[in-house]
């Protein structure tokens, strides 16, 4: 019987911890807008990964897309309420994150010169949900090899504020011990987490895909 005289080994314990630990575990201490942005980033990454699959899981994709919609709705509401203050509200303050190398952030921060910040600005009547909705368009023709053609990766981010992406990924990496930083960052992408159940198909494409996403997110 487990439990009687059987202690869980430290290594097991750590292994299990790793299974669930992430930058987002500590996200409760982050300010709400930043947390929201983290979730939004995750959603978009997941949607992007699913689209690589020949036949993505419709149930998951719908749930994730609805989460994106909900967050975007919320952001749109806020921007319509206070269009001026949003930038300040969301702009990450390096001093508020313990353990973050502020120099690492500032190098990526949109600091004015060659990185004009694309802050949350009300986009009028533009269909902001395009990113999320396109996903299901692909189900219609998921059999065709060209199903990605009308959904370039940029489309997904087109209508979404990307100014936060730089700092998010910085904070993700900086919030961890430097040695584990690379691995851990990979874990942020579900496709790279080999313990995930349904990623057998994903793994083939994930690395180049990851590079691509990183390029876009980091803005290089």
Partner 1 sequence: RCVLPPLSKCRWSDIISTVEFNHTGELLATGDKGGRVVIFQREPESKNEPYSQGEYNVYSTFQSHEPEFDYLKSLEIEEKINKIKWLPQQNAAHSLLSTNDKTIKLWKITERDKRPEGYNLKDEEGKLKDLSTVTSLQVPVLKPMDLMVEVTPRRIFANGHTYHVNSISVNSDCETYMSADDLRINLWHLAITDRSFNIVDIKPANMEDLTEVITASEFHPHHCNLFVYSSSKGSLRLCDMRASALCDKHSKLFEEPEDPSNRSFFSEIISSVSDVKFSHSGRYMLTRDYLTVKVWDLNMETKPIETYQVHDYLRSKLCSLYENDCIFDKFECAWNGSDSVIMTGAYNNFFRMFDRNTKRDVTLEASRESSKPRAILKPRRVCVGGKRRKDDINVDSLDFTKKILHTAWHPTENIIAIAATNNLYIFQDKVNSEMH
- Minimum distance between the CB of residue 57 and partner 1, rounded to whole angstroms? 8
Which one, 82 or 198, has the nearer CB to partner 1? 198
- Minimum distance between the CB of residue 103 and partner 1, rounded to whole angstroms? 27
Write out the residues near partner 1 by the rule CB under 8 A.
Answer: 1-4, 6, 8, 12-13, 16-17, 19-22, 24-25, 27-28, 36, 38-39, 42, 54-55, 57-60, 62-67, 69-71, 133-134, 136-137, 139-140, 142-143, 145, 187-188, 190, 193, 195-198, 200
CA 174, 39, 129, 202 torsion-angle sign: positive
Which one, 42 or 173, has the nearer CB to partner 1? 42
- Minimum distance between the CB of residue 154 and partner 1, rounded to whole angstroms? 18
Which one, 114 or 145, has the nearer CB to partner 1? 145
DSSP the chain: -TTSS-PPPHHHHHHHHHHH--GGGGGGGS-HHHHHHHHHHHHHHHHHHHHHSSS--HHHHHHHHHHHHHHHHHHHHHHHH-TTTHHHHHS--GGGSTT--HHHHHHHS--SSSS--------TTS-TTHHHHHHHHHHHTTTSTTTTTT--HHHHHHTS--HHHHHHHHHHHHTS-GGGHHHHHHHHSGGG-TTSTT-TTTHHHHHHHHHHHHHHHHT-
- Minimum distance between the CB of residue 175 and partner 1, rounded to whole angstroms? 14
- Minimum distance between the CB of residue 157 and partner 1, rounded to whole angstroms? 18
Which one, 5 or 112, has the nearer CB to partner 1? 5
- Minimum distance between the CB of residue 52 and partner 1, rounded to whole angstroms? 14
Which one, 4 or 95, has the nearer CB to partner 1? 4
Which one, 80 or 144, has the nearer CB to partner 1? 144
């Amino acid at each position: 019987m487990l439990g009687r005289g059987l202690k869980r080994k430290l290594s097991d314990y750590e292994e299990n911890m790793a299974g669930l630990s992430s930058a987002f575990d500590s996200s409760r201490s982050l300010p709400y807008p930043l947390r929201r942005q983290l979730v939004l980033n995750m959603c978009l990454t997941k949607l992007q990964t699913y689209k690589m699959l020949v036949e993505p899981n419709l149930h998951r994709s719908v749930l994730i897309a609805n989460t994106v919609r909900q967050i975007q709705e919320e952001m749109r509401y806020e921007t319509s309420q206070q269009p001026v203050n949003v930038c300040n509200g969301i702009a990450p303050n390096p001093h508020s994150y313990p353990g973050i190398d502020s120099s690492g952030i500032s190098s990526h921060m949109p600091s004015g010169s060659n990185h004009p910040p694309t802050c949350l600005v009300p986009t009028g009547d533009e269909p902001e949900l395009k990113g999320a909705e396109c996903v299901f368009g692909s189900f219609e023709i998921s059999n065709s090899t060209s199903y990605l053609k009308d959904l370039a990766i940029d489309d997904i981010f087109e209508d979404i504020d990307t100014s936060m992406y730089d700092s998010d990924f910085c904070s993700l990496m900086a919030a961890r011990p430097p040695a584990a930083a690379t691995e851990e960052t990979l874990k942020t992408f579900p496709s790279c987490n080999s313990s995930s159940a349904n990623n057998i198909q994903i793994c083939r494409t994930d690395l180049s895909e990851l590079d691509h996403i990183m390029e876009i997110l980091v803005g290089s």
